[in-house]
Amino acid sequence: MKIIPLWLHKLSSPPAFYRFAGRLRPWLFGSALLLGAVGLYGGLVLAPPDYQQGDAYRIIFIHVPCAWMSLFGYGCMAVAALIALVWRIKLAEVIAMECAPVGAAFTFITLVTGSLWGKPMWGTWWTWDARLTSELVLLFLYFGVIGLFNAIEDRRRAARAASLLALVGIVNLPIVHYSVVWWNTLHQGSTVNLFGKSHISGAMLWPLLLMALATHLYFFASVLNRARVGLLAVEGGKDWARNLIAESANA
């Protein structure tokens, strides 16, 4: 079973990854768009109104998948950061740093949609309860990683410094997830549980899961796309990158 490690090893070379990500990109973006469209139609049109919140609950189909992605994106960034720090693989550094803006965007959407949802239902845009505060801290952690990465001139040093920050910030992930269990919060507990019973009717669950799948695909598509650009920035002087630019100039 040496095939998979060998394949990964080959893929970690920048030119191989550049080609691979380029081939994968249209499929990922396409399926994300398609599933997202079906999920949104299912959520906004087909799903029945909620017994308590009526139609207002439909923002869940944006809010919850984005909230999941804000945590998932941080997890991906931390794993890439660990690989970057221990094995010093150039590709891992690039991927870790390109996860940050995408994850930050999802976190931002989560906070904004949550706020829009909170005003009519709870009666407030914002409250300093544990779930909302820890999600805001998550956004600031993303900002910290992006800021540190851009503050240091040398891109590889910058990536390693920011990777350490990304790794340290991982302690916030369980706090975000369990905040509704550990503290008495205004935010309600988890609706969809991976293990155990989910508290949502099936007609509402399938569009939610489709949206979750679509946001995952979009995340990967976006990170791969950004990583290609990031690789070109790091490897700009190398032969493969020069050849690539020459090719596209001739074409």
Task: For helices 90-121 and 14-41, give the axis angle rounded to 10 degrees.
Answer: 20
Binding mask 19-48 for another protein (x = CB under 8 A): -----------------------------x
Residue numbers 175-194 binding another protein by CB under 8 A:
175, 182-186, 188-191
Among the candidate windows 7-15, 36-44, 84-92, 240-248, which touches another protein by CB under 8 A?
A: 84-92
Does residue 67 contact residue 110 with C-beta atoms inside 8 Å?
A: yes
Among the candidate windows 15-23, 50-58, 214-222, 226-234, which touches another protein by CB under 8 A?
A: 50-58
What own/partner pairs with CB < 8 Å and gap ≥ 24 does 200-203 have?
A: 201/48, 203/46, 203/47, 203/48
Binding mask 138-177 for another protein (x = CB under 8 A): --------------------------x--xx-xxx--x--
Nearest residue to 73 (alpha-carbon basis) of 159, 6, 170: 170
Among the candidate windows 67-75, 195-203, 213-221, 229-237, which touches another protein by CB under 8 A?
A: 195-203
Angle in degrees, CA 137, 141, 147, rounded to 5 = 140
- Contacts for 134 with CB less than 8 Å, ≥ 6 apart: 172, 175, 176, 179
Quick one: tokens of 99?
A: 């996860």
Residue numbers 85-144 binding another protein by CB under 8 A:
85-87, 120-124, 127, 129-130
Q: Which spans of this chain sit near another protein (rule: CB under 8 A)?
A: 48-53, 56-57, 60, 82, 85-87, 120-124, 127, 129-130, 164, 167-168, 170-172, 175, 182-186, 188-191, 199-201, 203-204
